[in-house]
Each structure stands twice: as structure tokens, then as C-alpha cells.
Amino acid sequence: MNTADRMKIPRQAMPEQEPQERSHNFQEVNLGLATEAARLEAERCLRCRNAKCVTGCPVGVNIPHFMEAVAEGDLNRAADILFESNVLPGITGRVCPQEIQCEAQCIRGKKSTSAAVGYLERFVADWARENRPDQLVPPPSTGKRVAVVGGGPAGLTCAGELAKKGHQVTVFEAMHKPGGVLVYGIPEFRLPKAIVDAEVDKLRRMGVRIVCDVVVGQTYTIRDLLDEEGFHAVFIANGAGLPIFQGIPGEQLKGVYSANEYLTRVNLMGAFRFPANDTPVIRAPQIAVVGGGNVAMDAVRTARRLGADPATLIYRRSREEMPARAEEVKHAEQEGVVFDMLCSPVEILGTEDGWVRAVRCQRMELGEPDASGRRSPVPIAGSEFEIPCQVFIEAIGTRANPLITQTTPELKTNKWGYIEIDANNMTSIPGVFAGGDIVRGAATVILAMGDGKRTAAAINTYLAK
Ligand SMILES: Cc1cc2nc3c(=O)[nH]c(=O)nc-3n(C[C@H](O)[C@H](O)[C@H](O)COP(=O)(O)OP(=O)(O)OC[C@H]3O[C@@H](n4cnc5c(N)ncnc54)[C@H](O)[C@@H]3O)c2cc1C
């Protein structure tokens, strides 16, 4: 097929559950492309020789070769290409912000719409999970032992890449389940937990040992892992999951949650099935969430599914400045989430017996761009008003949990508490590496995975010395 013909094929739409129906259930919103649609979509790729999309992918999937294999219907080859660079493709195909990564670099996207790399990644990963037997042949053991602290995307990717090299890897995870944000943060309706479990199980079959309910910094220190437990190297990937609060009056009221607590209760502990599951969550008729990122979007869409009407999203800038993935914003709107833009909470108001009854907000207007390049919100005097709600959720960001750095004082951190690393991703302690959100601050799944992959290569070199 020539380029002109490829350019004529329209971007294939992702089938979705109807908004009316899905705003009351936790099943996945996106349903996945059918085989013929996937083949057509793959034909849209222009097969550029100097493929910019590959540089836009933090784990460097060979996208043109992958697209070609899908277009030819050779899904086995497509899966091989994918798994060679990405150990968690069923996950990244669902949650990566492709529109600012690989798809942003797509040449055909400059003239019309980009090739839907993410849709095809998901399609091939799902096909492989259901249709092809494991082709894992563990390499001979090197006898070297590596401890990975944290079972999120950075830790799991690093573990998988090290296992491919024959190292013995043990992942220590604080929660009762591995996956990090993938299991406790991102809701079932965006990323079914069965997909995460299947990709984690694959790592186990590659020889990765995963030990849950171990809090490094308490159960073991980093020094214990090296000096007493006999690990030859350590990768710290404990994320940045400590919630930040706005510090406004009323945050002590009953009914105020951090988004992390709210989402952990619902996703990891299954509170949406309470009382069948032990953990409850407050179900209120009106819920307001403050924030503009993926976390806020997940919290408000969860609140909607738990019956809130309205479920209101409060954001201090306009829709254009929202950092959330474009698809999540669109889906939230379709599901009936109310967007209250250019508005910022100043106080949470309570009833006499200490429950949330409303949030007082102030209107904002956009001023000059700030350090982030986005126009900054400026309060409008005398514009205060109330939004009635019985649950108020704060999703304005997270920071590093100091547990590990406090118990390992020789680990250098920057002024925000994030771990400092050198060009080889090694920390100030020889043999101890770090990556993911604990180095970058809250970022994305694929950036964390890219860190895990690069660090695995650096650890491999370090162990060979
Ligand atoms: C609600 C939510 C939605 C998001 N949506 C998206 C999205 O759609 N797309 C996207 O690309 N990114 C998204 N992100 C961001 C993304 O999930 C993170 O950037 C990514 O998960 C970081 O990976 P990580 O491995 O560094 O950390 P994490 O995923 O946070 O994993 C760290 C792991 O370490 C464990 N841990 C912590 N402390 C210890 C300890 N002391 N001992 C042992 N284990 C420990 C934690 O329990 C956790 O399992 C979202 C984040 C949130 C919170």
C-alpha cells in the first residue's frame, strides 16, 4: 500500500461501553478493537524510516516493525516485538498518555490523526495473553541476587529485565498485592486488575520472586538487604504516594479524603462491594473532588459510579490546562461529571456534628504563564460561593514517603525528598539504584517503566564488574 492510500484510512474508533450504562458500573470503559479494525489501523502507519514515534516511547518499542506485523496479521511476531521492549504492554496500552508520547511524534499526525499505537499495543497484548502459550525460557542463573523495593511499574519492569539476564530477583512490596498505583490507584474501569495480575504472573514465571507485606525501612533497611540478606544490588522504586493536602480550614471534618485513600479503599480493598468486602467507603449523594490530573479524574469518575449526583470536579485553571489524559477528560464529561473550572476551594464547611456539608470556593481568572508554562490562576475578589457536598476529595498531588530515606541517612535526596541518582541511575550508596516516581516525583507509568528498564541495564553492567 502506498502512502497516499494509507493516508485515506480513517483512524479506527475504540468501541466503548455506553456512558449511561458505564457511569453505574466498574467494568472497563474501552472494549478493545476488533481484528479487522486493528489490521486497518496498523495499515495507517506510514512505516517511516526515521521513525520518530520510537523516540517518543520511553521503553523504545520498535513501532513501525510492530505495526507492519499487525497489518500482515502476524500477531505472534507483533507480540515478540512488543515483549522484547515492554514487559507490561497490556497495561501501557491502556493507561499511557500516547497523545503526548509516541503518537505525538507520529508524522501522519502532523497532517491528520496519528496512528493509534496504544490501541494496537492493547490489542496485541490481549491477543497474546489469551492465545499464545508462554514462550519463556529462563536463561542460566548468574548467581547474582538483586532486591527490588516496590512492586509498581518501575520495580516490576526492572525485575523482569533483570530476570531476562538470569539474575535472581526478589521484589519486596509493602502492600498485600504487587502493582503499585496500577492496583491501588487506577480504577478497574480503566485498567482491569485481571490484566495487571496476568502480567505480574508472567514475571513470576520468568523467575521473579515477589514478597508482599514487607515494608522496607521497617522490616529491613537498605543496609540490611545488602549486608545481612546478601543481595548484590538494590533498586529502590517505592513511588511517591504520600498525599499532599491544600492546608485549608475544615480538612479535619468527617468525609474529607485524600484521593489516594479514597481510591485505595475502592480499588485495592474493593469497597465498591462493601459489605461483601470488609472495607467501607462513604457513599454520599454529592461529592466534590479538587484537582486536574489523572488522579482527580479517577476519583471523580469513581464517585460518580458510587452514586454521587452531582460528582463535581473543581479545578483552578481552565480545561485546556488540565494535565489529565485527554481520553479521561472526555470520558468523565460523557459520564455526567460536572466540571467547575477556574475555581479553587478556600474552606470546607461542616455540620454541627463534624461532617462535611459544602466546600466554599473562589472564582479564578487566568493571568501570566508560570514556571510550568501554563497561565496561572489569579483569584477574583468577592467571588466566593459554596458547592454542597458530603464528601470532599483532595487530588492535588503526592510526594515522597520519607520512611526509606530516614532509615538510610547516607541516601542523598534533593530538597523535596526525592532520591538523587547519577547518570547510571545509582544513588549515593554503591550498588543501590533508584527510579520511577521516587526519583522524578509523580510522573507516568511508562516513564517509571523506562527508568526500570534503563536501571536494569545499569545493574547488569555493575554486577558484571
Ligand atoms: C490514581 C492515579 C492514576 C494515574 N493514572 C495514570 C495514567 O493513566 N497513566 C499514567 O501513565 N500514569 C498514571 N498515574 C501515574 C503513575 O501511576 C505513576 O507515575 C507510576 O505508577 C509510578 O510508578 P512507580 O513504580 O515509580 O511507583 P508506584 O506505582 O507508586 O509503586 C511503588 C510501589 O512501592 C511500594 N512501596 C512504597 N513504599 C514501600 C516500602 N517502604 N517498602 C516496600 N514497598 C514500598 C508501594 O506500595 C507501591 O506498590 C496515575 C497515578 C495515580 C495515583
Quote the ligand 1 centre to 445 CA distance (angstroms): 8
Rounded to a whole number of angstroms, the distance between the first and last alpha carbons of the chain is 50
Assessment of whether the complete model's pTM goes beyond 0.95: no
Per the listing, cell 520510537 goes with 54
Q: Which residues contact 406 (CB under 8 A, 6 or more apart)?
A: 217
CA 216 to CA 101: how far, in whole Å?
A: 33
How much is the pLDDT for 161? 95
CATH number at residue 199: 3.50.50.60
Do 251 and 390 fall into the same domain? yes
Sort strands 356-369 and 343-350 into parallel, antiparallel or unpaired.
antiparallel
Atom of ligand 1 nearest to the CA of 155: 25
Give the pLDDT confidence score for residue 372 in this predicted structure: 79
Cα of 438 vs centre of ligand 1, distance in Å, is 9
Q: Is residue 412 part of a domain?
A: yes
Domain match, 270 and 357 both: yes
How many Cα atoms within 13 Å fall on the side-chain side of residue 368? Answer: 2
Alpha helix segments (H runs only) across 253-318: 259-263, 294-305
C-alpha cell at 387: 458547592
Bridge-based pairing of strands 391-394 and 256-258 is parallel
How many domains is the chain built from?
Answer: 3
**Residue 445 CA, closest ligand 1 atom number:** 11
Q: Is residue 137 part of a domain?
A: no
Residue located nearest, by CA, to atom 19 of ligand 1: 444
Instruction: List, edge to edge, every strand of the sheet that includes 168-172.
Output: 209-211, 168-172, 145-149, 233-236, 432-434
Q: Do both 338 and 210 map to the same domain?
A: no
Among the candidates 109, 131, 153, a domain finishes at 131
127 and 197 in a single domain? The answer is no
Residue 138 in any domain: the answer is no
Note whether 91 and 38 are same-domain residues.
yes
Grid coordinates given for 148? 527490588
Whether residue 387 sits in one domain with residue 250: yes
Give the range of the structural domain holding residue 348, as residue numbers without chain letter.
245-398
* Per-residue b or e along 15-54, where b marks 16 or more CB atoms closer than 10 Å to that residue's CB: eebeeeebbeebebbbebbeeebbbbbbbbbbebeebebb
Model pLDDT, residue 411: 97
Å from CA of 240 to ligand 1 middle: 7
Domain boundary among the residues 131, 158, 188 is at: 131
Residue 136 lies in a domain: no
**CA proximity to 407, closest of 279, 273, 236:** 236
Tell me, in angstroms, the distance from the centre of ligand 1 to residue 401's CA: 12
d(CA 91, CA 81): 16
Within-domain flag for 354: yes
Q: Mean pLDDT of successive 10-residue segments in the chain (465 residues)?
A: 92 96 95 97 94 93 96 96 93 92 92 94 96 82 97 97 96 97 96 95 94 96 96 98 96 98 96 93 97 97 97 94 91 96 97 98 93 88 97 97 94 96 98 98 94 97 94
How far, in Å, CA of 460 to CA of 144, rounded? 10
Do 316 and 345 contact (CB within 8 A), yes or no?
no
- Partners of 258 in the β-ladder: 394
What is the CA(418)–ligand 1 centre distance, in A?
Answer: 14
**Closest ligand 1 atom to the C-alpha of 401?**
38
For residues 250 and 370, membership in a common domain is answered with yes
pLDDT for the residue numbered 105: 94
- 390 & 404 share domain: no
How many angstroms separate the alpha carbon of residue 259 from the centre of ligand 1? 13
Does residue 384 share a domain with residue 420? no
Question: Which residue out of 214, 222, 238, 446 has the highest number of ligand 1 atoms within 8 Å of its CB and is therefore the one to mutate?
Answer: 238
Q: Which of 131, 158, 177 is the last residue of a domain?
A: 131
Q: Which residues pair with 387 in a beta bridge?
A: 359
Model pLDDT, residue 412? 97
The residue to which cell 464529561 is assigned: 333
pLDDT in the model for residue 137: 78
Same domain, 416 and 459: yes
Q: Quick one: 221 and 127 in the same domain? A: no
- Ligand 1 midpoint to CA 56 (Å): 21
Mutate to test the pocket of ligand 1, among 181, 210, 438 (most ligand atoms within 8 A of CB): 181
* CA 1 – ligand 1 centroid, Å: 42
Ligand 1: lining residues by beta carbon, under 6 Å: 95-97, 149-155, 172-175, 180-181, 185-186, 215-217, 237-239, 241, 263, 294-295, 298, 325, 401, 403-404, 436-437, 442-446, 448
Handedness of CA 296, 297, 301, 302 (dihedral sign): negative
Atom 27 of ligand 1: nearest residue by CA position: 239
* Co-location of 250 and 393 in the same domain: yes
Give the CATH number of the domain where residue 40 resides.
1.10.1060.10
Does 139 fall in a domain? no
Residue 416 lies in a domain: yes
In a domain, 107, yes or no: yes
Tell me whether strands 145-149 and 168-172 are parallel, antiparallel or unpaired.
Answer: parallel
Distance from residue 443's CA to the centre of ligand 1 (Å): 9
C-alpha span between 231 and 145 (Å, rounded) = 5
